[in-house]
A and B are shown apart, each in its own frame.
Chain A
Amino acid sequence: MKLDPKNTQRAAVAVLGSATLLTLTALIFIIVFVLEKGLPVLNWSFLTGAPQDMGRAGGIFPAIAGSVALTVLAVLLAAPLGVGTAVYLTEYTRESRLTAIIRFGADCLAGIPSIIFGLFGFILFVTILKMGWSLLAGGLTLALMILPTIIRTTEEAIKAVPLSYREVSYSLGATRWQTVYKVILPNALPGILTGVMLGVGRSLGETAAVIFTAGSSLRMPASIFDSVRTMAVHFYLLAREGISAENAYGTAAALIIAVLSVNLLAYWMMNRMVAKRT
């Protein structure tokens, strides 16, 4: 049978369009479902109150604090390391078998299930280095988990900076490091931020690796050596142990809103940066 190009075109539009529609529907369904169940629970005292009776009553403030502290710590550890590694790999080394192996390693690490990172963090940080279940052990574990993503997205962002910027910079007598921090990093910043935001999203949503390394204490952490419970872990425990479905959905709604607002903020920052530079 000979296919008429016009009909294949129509078929392609139909198939691709319905794929998009299906994806969007699933996404919207999840958000609406969680918000519908969770929003009625969400109010000021739920967000700012301490949990009572294992989370059956009261609020989720320590879990919010735990999520924020753990994510900030993980990003503060991983971003400088990841960006530094990416700059070194792209600007300071020539392509060789070694850089190819490092890149392959980073790609493999990015694909490892988070529970493996959790187990590794538990053995190394919690047990051998005697950090116990703590913010520090959890932050270090999550940092390792998001590091490969930050390295690879930063690398891509740096490679996208036009070669001509580097040439001009060198031709005006700039050193490699001056070229990196005055020309390459500012121009790669929106892309680097994308990688960091992916890391933020993964950290906020992580449960397995967090339970293994940061524990699940419901108290407000006072230092980085205290155990914390994140919103994701709180939701998991409330739902898994049948403590309170209502409060589980309330926590899930808070988590979804947090992730969406972080992404919106990042999006806005990126647009501002791009607009400022053109």
Chain B
Amino acid sequence: MDQKIEIKDLDLFYGSFQALKAVSMPVYDRQITALIGPSGCGKSTLLRCLNRMNDLISEVRITGRALLDGVNIYDRSTDVEGLRKRVGMVFQRPNPFPLPIYENVVYGLRVAGENDKKTLDQTAEKSLKAAWLWDQLKDKLHQPAISLPLDQQQRLCLARLLAVEPEVILMDEPCSSLDPIATAKVEELMLELKKDYTIVIVTHNMQQAARVSDFSGYMLLGEMIEFGETKTLFTNPSQKLTEDYITGRFG
């Protein structure tokens, strides 16, 4: 299996607080990798390292490497905007812009300079179809996105991301504001998207990690305690700490 991303000895400091401690981990191409662990363990921070969203926070210092297709994304020469087009993100809370549905979906294309109406229309349709929204939304593309129910808003955010054709999708607890039925739908969608995209998901929900992911990493206090195939990690963890967490004795 090819490694899409390889994280090597990554340290991250918020001021003097060390939030990630020498984390190393592979992310395999067109597989779903889950990051699990209790609150504050650094899993969201690690996720945000992969598209350099932590750059937006002042007083963050990062050492170590994260290779995307063999190239370190923390190189000085990295085109950060270009990186974020390749490594996209779905956030914890659905966050559509206060714009019509259509304008939300084509936002990434517009900032990339695409203005051709036909291309925009085609991409909007393709992306909404890929997020299983086209049938419900095709007749109300010009209605405000904020008026949609939460689960459709979240899949709209996914469609907005798919429109820029990323290679990797980072998901930061994408289902935490959704009900179980909507969650099941997103999970089903993830398994479908896995055919074309590499997915990394941060989740609080261990069952979710067990259901959808191929690989899992268990983090605790900024350290990667154990990484491996999900079925191994959940049935036969090699570390006592992992076992305590997944059996519910801790966390």
Q: Given A94-B58, A167-B53, A178-B111, check contact A172 B99 (CB 8 Å).
A: no
Of B11-19, B37-45, B82-90, the stretch lying at the interface with chain A is B82-90
User: In the complex, what's the smallest C-beta–C-beta distance from B69 to chain A, in angstroms?
Assistant: 17
Contacts of B53 in A (CB 8 A): 167, 170-171
Which residues between 168 and 202 of chain A lie within 8 Å of chain B, taking CB atoms?
168-175, 178, 182-183, 187
Q: Which partner residue on chain B sits nearest A178 by CB separation?
A: B111
In the assembly, what is the distance between CA of A168 and CA of B112, in Å?
A: 14
When the two chains form their complex, are residues A167 and B95 in contact, meaning their CB atoms are under 8 A apart? yes
In the assembly, what is the distance between CA of A80 and CA of B238, in Å?
A: 62
When the two chains form their complex, are residues B111 and A172 in contact, meaning their CB atoms are under 8 A apart? yes
Q: Does A103 touch B at the CB level, under 8 Å?
A: no
User: In the complex, what's the smallest C-beta–C-beta distance from B156 to chain A, in angstroms?
Assistant: 11
Q: Mark B51-71, 1 if CB is under 8 A from A, else 0.
A: 101001010000000000000
User: In the complex, what's the smallest C-beta–C-beta distance from A82 to chain B, in angstroms?
Assistant: 24
Contact check: which of A165, A166, A187, A278 meets B56 at CB < 8 Å? A166
Q: Given A166-B56, A277-B99, check contact A171 B111 (CB 8 Å).
A: no
Q: Which partner residue on chain B sits nearest A166 by CB separation?
A: B56
Q: Given A182-B111, A187-B98, A277-B98, check contact A171 B81 (CB 8 Å).
A: no
Which residues between 251 and 267 of chain A lie within 8 Å of chain B, taking CB atoms?
none
In the assembly, what is the distance between CA of A72 and CA of B112, in Å?
A: 36
Q: Does B110 touch A at the CB level, under 8 Å?
A: yes
When the two chains form their complex, are residues B85 and A173 in contact, meaning their CB atoms are under 8 A apart? yes
In the assembly, what is the distance between CA of A172 and CA of B84, in Å?
A: 6
In the assembly, what is the distance between CA of A277 and CA of B88, in Å?
A: 25
Q: Which partner residue on chain B sits nearest A174 by CB separation?
A: B111
When the two chains form their complex, are residues A173 and B97 in contact, meaning their CB atoms are under 8 A apart? no
When the two chains form their complex, are residues A278 and B160 in contact, meaning their CB atoms are under 8 A apart? no
Contacts of A168 in B (CB 8 A): 91, 95, 97, 157, 160
Contacts of B89 in A (CB 8 A): 171
When the two chains form their complex, are residues B98 and A172 in contact, meaning their CB atoms are under 8 A apart? no
Contact check: which of A167, A173, A175 meets B164 at CB < 8 Å? A173
When the two chains form their complex, are residues B95 and A172 in contact, meaning their CB atoms are under 8 A apart? no
**What number of A residues sit within 8 Å (CB to CB) of B?**
21
Which residues between 224 and 278 of chain A lie within 8 Å of chain B, taking CB atoms?
277-278
In the assembly, what is the distance between CA of A173 and CA of B52, in Å?
A: 11
Contacts of A8 in B (CB 8 A): none
Binding site secondary structure of chain A: helix
Which residues between 134 and 152 of chain B lie within 8 Å of chain A, taking CB atoms?
144, 146
Contact check: which of A167, A175, A278 meets B146 at CB < 8 Å? A278
In the assembly, what is the distance between CA of A232 and CA of B164, in Å?
A: 56
Q: Does B108 touch A at the CB level, under 8 Å?
A: yes
Contact check: which of A95, A162, A173 meets B111 at CB < 8 Å? A173
When the two chains form their complex, are residues B98 and A173 in contact, meaning their CB atoms are under 8 A apart? no
In the assembly, what is the distance between CA of A233 and CA of B204, in Å?
A: 67
Contacts of A95 in B (CB 8 A): 58
In the assembly, what is the distance between CA of A61 and CA of B164, in Å?
A: 57
Contacts of B84 in A (CB 8 A): 170-173
Q: Which partner residue on chain B sits nearest A94 by CB separation?
A: B58
When the two chains form their complex, are residues B56 and A167 in contact, meaning their CB atoms are under 8 A apart? yes
Which residues between 66 and 96 of chain A lie within 8 Å of chain B, taking CB atoms?
94-95
Q: Does B107 touch A at the CB level, under 8 Å?
A: yes
Q: Mark B24-43, 1 if CB is under 8 A from A, else 0.
A: 00000000000000000000
In the assembly, what is the distance between CA of A215 and CA of B91, in Å?
A: 58
User: In the complex, what's the smallest C-beta–C-beta distance from B234 to chain A, in angstroms?
Assistant: 30
User: In the complex, what's the smallest C-beta–C-beta distance from B102 to chain A, in angstroms?
Assistant: 15
In the assembly, what is the distance between CA of A168 and CA of B90, in Å?
A: 8
When the two chains form their complex, are residues A164 and B146 in contact, meaning their CB atoms are under 8 A apart? no
User: In the complex, what's the smallest C-beta–C-beta distance from A166 to chain B, in angstroms?
Assistant: 7
Q: Given A167-B91, A168-B97, A183-B97, check contact A173 B108 (CB 8 Å).
A: yes
In the assembly, what is the distance between CA of A35 and CA of B142, in Å?
A: 47
Q: Does B8 touch A at the CB level, under 8 Å?
A: no
When the two chains form their complex, are residues A171 and B51 in contact, meaning their CB atoms are under 8 A apart? yes
In the assembly, what is the distance between CA of A174 and CA of B84, in Å?
A: 9
Which 7 residue pairs across A and B have the least CB separation, nearest first? A173-B85, A172-B108, A174-B111, A164-B95, A171-B89, A277-B98, A173-B84
Binding site for B on A (CB under 8 A): 94-95, 162, 164-175, 178, 182-183, 187, 277-278
Binding site for A on B (CB under 8 A): 51, 53, 56, 58, 81-82, 84-85, 88-89, 91, 93, 95, 97-99, 107-108, 110-112, 144, 146, 157, 160-161, 164
Task: Jot down 24 A-B pairs with beta carbons below 8 A, ordered by A.
Answer: A95-B58, A162-B95, A164-B93, A164-B95, A165-B95, A167-B53, A167-B91, A167-B95, A168-B97, A168-B157, A169-B111, A170-B53, A170-B84, A171-B53, A171-B84, A172-B107, A173-B81, A174-B107, A175-B81, A178-B111, A182-B107, A183-B97, A187-B98, A277-B99
